Structure formats: structure tokens, C-alpha cells
A and B are shown apart, each in its own frame.
Chain A
Amino acid sequence: MLGLSRKTKVSTGASLPVIVGIAAACIFLLVGCLVSNIFAQQTVAGLAQGAIFASLALALVLIYRATEVINFAQGELAMATTYIAYQLTLWHVSYWLAFFLTLVISFVLGAVVYGVLIRPVQHRSVIALVIVTVGLFILIDGLVTWKWGADLKFMPAPFGNNVYHAGGVSFSRQDIGVLLVSILSVILLWVLFQFTKLGLAMRAAALRPAAAALVGIRVDWMLAIGWGLAAVLGAVAGLMTEPSQFLQPTMMQAILLYAFAAAVLGGLESPAGSVVGGLAIGVFLNLIGQYVGYATSELRLPIAFAVLLVVLLLKPTGLFGRRQVRRV
């Protein structure tokens, strides 16, 4: 399935109309923010929420690129690693130390999940892989409920309660913090992929495993690292969800749904696309909630998915997707 014949010809990611569209959306948001206080607040809150979608969407994309499977357990992995951070804080580890320790633990956990559960079935079929990730979803959910119980848990607040005032607009420090941490982790990952030898090797292992192996790249290791990094991104998403949703085994399930949407909107193979997709969905949901009267909470999700459908009809490969042409 990952043979040499795959993707013999690819066109570039974002096409001109898409770039123009995104630029127009940004200008629209900027003007809106300058004109209206509530617009600005909703946009920032939406970006913070969207950044969480983006982190998890990026984790999905990483794994999709590496293993060609949608990891249905990504949200539950993120939830489980957040519980690990919670356990660390219970042991009187300070919040930010627990945060970074959790990222390390998540990396190992992600790599181990790949090595133990995914690798053995990787070349069987996509269905087998999907079943394994669904099983993993149920397994993690059960283990967490067994260990920590299903009732609500709370971690120390990472960003405090301050509110920043800028020209009559008040931004919560929490929203800004969530946005910065999520975006920063995404940028770091991009740097890793784009500018390091390791990143190059990982891209090679994902794109052309056989060729990569021939030039001496240990493909399995690279894929394991990919899963590890995805788990790290998931942990960031989980930890950034906690301040507003608190800890419970179901905390990431709805977010995973939005992350799927973000990943698909972005083109499923494009890291940049998933980030844009996540932010767009976060902002879009907040703004229609504010300004479209009939978009009550039961309609918000359907409206978001209807828009997603329209985008996919116009651009079947997503905003940043590459059209794959196979030579027959």
C-alpha cells in the first residue's frame, strides 16, 4: 500500500483562490475586530478554542501522513495524558513542570502505542488499523475511568484570572495563553519537520518508506517518532482544554469531532491546512453564535458541517489538499 507507485504526481498545496480567500477572511476579521468590541472578544475566544481544535487536528494529520489511518483514539490519548499531568500535580509537581513532563511521557506513550499496537497490523488493511484505534479508544476510556473515576477533577489554573483590557475590549488571559501555547507547539513542530535532519527523515519515511529505507532511514523508528509527536500535540490540546472543560473522561470527545472537521477542511495531509481549518472552525462557530439569531446551540454544529460540506464540494481535497494523480 505504501509502494513506490503511490503519488507519482502532486500539485502544490494551497491554490491561489484559497490563499486569496484566507487573506480576505483575515482582513474581514481584522476590520470586524477594530469596529466592534464584542466581535473582537468573540474572535479571540474563537481563536483560543480553534487553536485546541488545530492541535488535535494536526496530531491527526501527522498520523495520517505517517500511517495513512485516522486515529480515532487521538482524543482519548490526549485525555489520558491530561490525567497523567493531573496525577503529577497531585504529587505536588508544579503546573508547568508537570506540563513538560507530561509532554515527554506522551511522546513515549505515543511511540509505544505505535510499536505495540499499530505496527503489527499496519500492513494488513486500513480496516484492521481503524478497528485497532477504535479499540484503543475504548481501552483508554475504560482504564482512565477505572484509575481516576468519571467525576469531575480540577487542575491548578495555568494562566490565572487576569483580564487584559485593550481599547475597551477585555481579553481573558486564559484565552490568550491557550492560543499562544497551542500555536507555539504547532510552530515548533513545523520547524522540526522543515529545518531538521530528523524532520526530513520522518517526511521521507512517511512519503516513500521503501526509498527511505534504502538510504538508511529506520522507517519504523521514524513512524514511532511521528506517533510520539502526535501524542505530544494531543497532550497540549488536552492540557489547554482542561482550564475551561475540566478533567473528565469525555472531555475530548466533542473536540475530536471538531478536529476531524478541521483536518478534513485543511486537506487531511496538510499540517498548515489543519491549523487553518481548526482556527477557522473555532472563530466561525463563535461568530455565528453571536450574530446569527437562529444559530442556536443545536444548529451550530450542523451549520459548521454544512459549510464544511460546501467547501469540500467546491474543493474536494480540502483547502490545502494536494490533488493526487496516479499514473496508470
Chain B
Amino acid sequence: MKRKVLAVVAAAAAVAAVAATAASGAVKADPGITKSSITIGGTFPLTGPASLYKTIPLAEKAYFDYVNDTQGGVNGRKINFLIKDDAYSPSNTVPLTQELVERDKVFAILGSLGTAPGLSVWNYTNQRKVPQVFLATGDSFWGFCATKVCDGSKKPWTIGWQPDYPGESRQYGKYIAANTPNAKIGVLYQNDAYGKNYYAGLRLGLGAKKSNIVDAETFDATATSLAQQILALKSKGADTMVVFGTPTPTITALVTATKVGWSPTTYINNVSANRLFLLAAAKAGANVDGVVSTTYVKSPTVNAGDKAIKQARGILQTYAPALVPSWDSGDSNITYGLGVAYTFVYALKHAGKNPTRASLMNALHEMNTSNPYLYPGIRIFTDFHKGHRDNFPIEQEIFIKWAGGATGDWKPFGKLLGGIR
């Protein structure tokens, strides 16, 4: 009798266990997501040579904290954003991304910064089917490789954010060819894939006018001065200087040109056109008036009267007070971070009540929305499903020109430029 009871109990327990497993299987969620939270993370250069960009992840975190507090997160799930410091070095990006995926069990990688760091883990994230979202780099791979075999396979789990670099430099080329057809162009570019992509885009944009390039000088990481290159450009008779570098060498180039008594019409790339960098260059002695670049985000100073920009300052004051001084000086990287976080929240809302990694990617692949932190008129648009293969969220920019010297600012001019990819 006793034995029979035991058997029944055992059988009941077994049935219950199986049922429980089946039940949990039915609602089995992807890693990183629970009823009340969603964990995401990214790698960023908080230290090292590219640490100028560290305001980006801090702004993203501030925006998520704001959404968590004021809206209770997204669909009742608070966003937990993990920031890892890879110091811009792929050798750190790989283990840190694995740590995020395997130990911290993130739902998605968001905003990881840098081309080489991004490339170092995209095979991994795509094999593991972990969304690699809004990479903070303007290479064209992120857009094209969702449908094209790159680096061994297609990368449908990867999506970039900003307009791509060659597309941007094509605009400078077109502009120079149209407005100063007799310009003698001297190009100074970083001697790596980043700089070469920009240079190739410029030549495309110049079209037949690419013969106006009188000299192209390169520099690399071991350069201890840019005087040699700048003097060479000057000596070849260039009256227009186009600089494609990261912020530090770009600032150096602006300063050096002034110091050798050369004042060409200067174009710099968007990545280096943060107001902070121009102010720094001016403070170090550069003549920065008339420098031309492009932007796609609002500037905290130029667009100071804008509603979203005013509100953003309040968000920062509450959730990232350390960023406020930088914001007040016009750090457009902060608007960049806010914009990325804003659109991630948008995508998450459109990924369904119970988002999966796949449903998030679906949402990311069919965005058509505005973003209050982008320059007025710019839309976020992707179209991945209906025969189109558009995986570039932002494809518009506006020209900006500097005026006002060491206390000056950018002035947007002209119409919105489109098709930047």
C-alpha cells in the first residue's frame, strides 16, 4: 500500500516536472530578457586614443535611465545597459563582447564603437544570432553585408547607424566640383581603410574634376608631426585642403596649416567636426573660420532653441550631470548617443510585446520614423523585406560651415543631402 502511494506520488511528480518543462519551453525567451527587464551592452573606448568618444555611451545610458524612470522602460521592461571599455582595441573587444553575450547574457549588442572593433566580433555575433545594433562607425559593411557575403558569410544580425564614410566624402567632391570647379585640391588622409574609403569617395564625387587634386598626402599612427605633409600640400599649390582623419590628427592639421602660414579652404569629415574639436583647434592657434563639414545630428548649441534639445539638457542634468558642461560646449557626440538610444527604444517597441532577437532585427529592418535628435528633416529609414536591400538607417546630411573663430560655431547651409551610402 505504502509502496503504491509512493509510486503514485512519484508519477505525479514526474508528470508535474514534464508539464513544468513544457510550460517554460512554451514561453522560453531569448537571453537577456525577462518580464521586467532587458539587458543590452556594448564596447566603447572609455580610455585610450579614441576616448574622446566616451560621451556617446554615457549619453545612451542616461537616455535609457530616463525611459526607465519616466515610462517604466519599454513594455514594462527596464533597459539595463552595460558599458565595457575596450580602449578601441579589437583584442579587448573580442573577449568583452563574449563576456557580454555569455556571462552577462545580453539580449543585443548596442552601439559598439569603431570599425576594427566591430569587424573583430561580427562573425561571432552573427553565428550566435545576437543582434549587433547601431554600430558607431560609418563603414559601408554594416549596411551592405546583411545581404551580401562579407568576411565569409552574410551578416543579417548586424546593422549600422550613421551615413557611411565614402557617401559622405562623395558629397564634398560634388560640392567642390560644382562650386569651385577650378580649385586646386590637396588631400590629407589617414593611411588606413578608414582614410582610403573617404579618399575614394571624394574622387567619385569630384568626377571629371578629380584631376584637380594636385596632391594627396597620407599620415599614419607613427606620425609625430604633420608639418611635412602640410608643407607638401602647400608647395604643390593647393588652395583647398580636404582632411580625412580621426579628431586628433584633424586638429593637428588645422593648427599646422595656420602655423605654416597657409590658409586654404578646408573640408573636414563629420567624425572630426564636433564643436569641441574646432574650439580646441582654434584655442591651439588654428584659423578655423570657413571650415566646411557635414552633420546629421542636432548640435546642443546651434539648435539650442529646439524643444528636444532643451529637454535633453534636463535629461542629462538628472541622469548624467557629468555630461552637462560638455553638452553646453556643443558636444554633438552626446546628441548622437541620445539619438541612438531613442531609435533603439523605438525598435524595441516595434519588436512586439515579447521581443525576441529575431523580432528585434525585423523591427530594425523596417524602420520609417523620425528622431528628435537628428537634424530637422532627416528620417530613419530601412527597408529590408520588400525586395529592397536598404540596411542604412541614416542616409541624409547637411553641410555646415564654421564662423566666429575661437568662440564660434557651425552654421548649417544648403539643402539636406540624400542618398549617402
Contact = CB atoms under 8 A, between A and B. Distances in A.
A246 B284 contact: yes
Interface stretch (A7-15, A42-50, A122-130, A205-213): A42-50
B146 to A, nearest CB: 32
Interface residues of B, number: 38
A286 B223 contact: no
Nearest to B222: A254
Contacts of B259: 161, 163, 172-175, 244
A254 B227 contact: no
B137 interface: no
A71 interface: no
Contacts of B42: none
B141 interface: no
Given A151-B51, A297-B223, A246 B228 contact: no
A113 B67 CA distance: 51
B252 A246 contact: yes
A152 B248 contact: yes
Interface in B123-159: none
B258 interface: yes
Contact of A170 (B221, B248, B260): B260
A21 interface: no
Interface in B178-232: 191, 217-229, 231-232
A301 B232 CA distance: 18
Most buried by A among B225, B235, B280, B285: B225
Given A152-B247, A157-B285, A145 B47 contact: yes
B284 A290 contact: no
B52 A152 contact: yes
B52 A254 contact: no
Contact of B218 (A46, A241, A296): A296
Interface in A33-61: 37-38, 41-42, 45-46, 48-49, 52
Contact of A245 (B48, B219, B225): B225
- Provide the main secondary structure of the chain A interface: helix
A298 B284 contact: no
Nearest to A48: B227
Nearest to B216: A296
Contacts of B284: 154, 157, 243, 246
Given A157-B284, A174-B259, A298 B49 contact: no
Contacts of B224: 49, 52, 241, 245, 254-255, 258
Contacts of B220: 297-298
Interface string A146-170: 0001111010010011010100001
A290 to B, nearest CB: 5
A45 B225 contact: yes
A160 B51 contact: no
A189 to B, nearest CB: 22
Interface in A217-248: 241, 243-246, 248
Contacts of A258: 224
A263 to B, nearest CB: 16
A254 B221 contact: yes
Nearest to A243: B284
Given A151-B52, A152-B247, A45 B231 contact: yes
A298 B248 CA distance: 19
A316 interface: no
A94 interface: no
A45 B261 contact: no
B51 A38 contact: no
A165 B223 CA distance: 27
Contacts of B310: none
Nearest to A155: B284
Contacts of B48: 150
A46 B233 CA distance: 16
Nearest to A244: B225
A322 B259 CA distance: 41
Contacts of B252: 244-246
Contact of B261 (A163, A243, A248, A255): A163
B251 interface: yes
Nearest to B259: A172
Contact of B235 (A149, A241, A290, A301): A290
Contacts of B28: none
Given A154-B283, A175-B259, A296-B191, A248 B248 contact: yes
B255 A244 contact: yes
B49 A42 contact: no
B51 A149 contact: yes
Contacts of B43: none
B280 A152 contact: yes
A152 to B, nearest CB: 6
B236 to A, nearest CB: 9
B134 to A, nearest CB: 23
Contacts of A41: 231, 235, 260
Interface in B260-304: 260-261, 280, 283-285
Query: What are the 10 closest A-B residue pairs judged by CB atoms, nearest first?
Result: A163-B261, A38-B235, A45-B227, A172-B259, A170-B261, A297-B218, A150-B51, A289-B228, A286-B228, A254-B222
Interface of B: 47-49, 51-52, 54, 191, 217-229, 231-232, 234-235, 247-248, 251-252, 255-256, 258-261, 280, 283-285
6 contacts: A150-B47, A160-B285, A174-B285, A241-B224, A244-B225, A244-B227
